Amino acid sequence: MSNVKMTVNGKSVSRDVADTTLLSEFLREDLRLTGTHVGCDTSQCGACVVHVDGRAIKSCSALAVALDGAEVTTIEGIADGQNLHPMQAAFKANHGLQCGFCTPGMIMTGIDMVNRYQADGKTLTTEAIRDELEGNICRCTGYHNIVKSIEEAAGQMSGMAKAAE
């Protein structure tokens, strides 16, 4: 057992966990943040994607003890109170989800790719969105509306970034 301290969705947390505890288990079982899902055991499906220190990672592939001191954001932490994040709103507006199980990972991956492309000054084309979704599997939507959702949110996030400048 080791003590792990993190900032999760802006709140400091501290827990004693087994050294084998995965970040996905830590979030789901220790913190009861069950919006982060686990859909495979080989780190392919991406349902478990969260942000660690501003970057998307698969929480099923990281040990909690290795992330002592990290800042973690999960699907529960991206809306601003009652105001949805533009990526969340775009998934609803574009019917980018059906059963909802892969959705948290899709949204967290979508936000990360938009942020990276904007930071690099690159345009996020629909081809690029499809490439970037290599690590996220959806069985319901056929991806059509997921790609549209991320494309629309990218436009809105770009507008917000410009407005903030």
Partner 1 sequence: MSEGIGARVTRKEDKRFITGKGKYTDDIRMENQAYAAFVRSPHAHATVKSIDASAAEAMEGVIEVLNGAQLTGDEIGNIICGWAITSKDGSPMNMGAWSALATEKVRYVGDAVAVVIAETQALARLAAEAVEVEYDELPAVAFAEKALQAGAPEIHDNAPGNLIYDWEIGEEAATDAALAGAAHVTEMEITNNRLSPNPMEPRSAVATYDESEEHYTLYTTSQNPHVARLVLSAFYNVAPEHKLRVIAPDVGGGFGSKIYIYPEEITCLWASMRTGRSVKWTSDRSEAFMTDAHGRDHVSTAKMGFDADGKIVGFKVDTIANFGAYMSLFSSAVPTYLYATLLSGQYNISNIHCNVRAVYTNTVPIDAYRGAGRPEACYAIERMMETAARELNMDPGELRRRNFIGEFPHETPVIMTYDAGDFDGNLDKALAAANVTGFAERKAEAASRGKLRGLGYSCYIEACGIAPSAAVGSLGAGVGLWESAEVRVNPVGTIEILTGSHSHGQGHETTFAQIVAERFSIPIDNVQIVHGDTDKVQFGMGTYGSRSGAVGMSAIVKAMDKVEAKVKKIAAHTLEASEDDIVIEGGEVKVAGTDKAMGWHEVGLAAYTGHNLPDGMEPGLKEGAFYDPVNFTFPAGAYICEVEVDPDTGVTEIVQFTAADDFGTIINPMIVEGQVHGGVAQGIGQAMLEQVVYDDDGQLITGSYMDYCMPRADDVPFYTIEHNTTVCPGNPLGIKGCGEAGAIGAPPAVINAITDAIGTNDLQMPATPQAVWTALQSVQTPMAAE
Would you tell me which residues interact with partner 1 (CB under 8 A)? 18, 20, 28, 32-42, 44-45, 47, 74-76, 79, 84, 88, 91-93, 95, 97-104, 107, 126-127, 129-131, 133-134, 136-147
* SS3 (DSSP) at 92: helix
Q: Contact at 8 Å (CB) between 64 and 46?
A: no
Shortest CB 28 distance to partner 1, Å: 8
Rounded to the nearest whole angstrom, what is the least distance from the CB of residue 67 to partner 1 in the complex?
19
Q: Which is nearer to partner 1, 39 or 155 (CB)?
A: 39
Instruction: Kindly tell me which of 33 and 67 has the beta carbon lying closer to partner 1.
Output: 33
Cβ proximity to partner 1, 122 vs 139, nearer residue: 139
What are the residues facing 73 on neighbouring strands? 51
Q: Name the minimum Å distance from CB 151 to partner 1.
A: 11
- 71-73 and 2-8 as β-strands: parallel, antiparallel, unpaired? parallel
- Of the candidates 18, 55, 6, 59, which has an alpha carbon nearest to the alpha carbon of residue 37? 59
Distance in Å, CB of 144 to partner 1, minimum:
4
Quick check: helix, strand or coil at residue 118?
A: helix
For residue 96, the minimal CB distance to partner 1 (Å) is 9
Residue 7 or 44 having the CB closest to partner 1: 44
Decide if 36 contacts 74 (C-beta within 8 A): yes
Tokens of 5: 């301290």
**Residue 6 vs 74, nearer CB to partner 1:** 74
Q: Are 35 and 73 in contact (CB under 8 A)?
A: no
Instruction: Identify how many contiguous H helices and E strands the chain contains and give both numbers.
Output: 5, 5
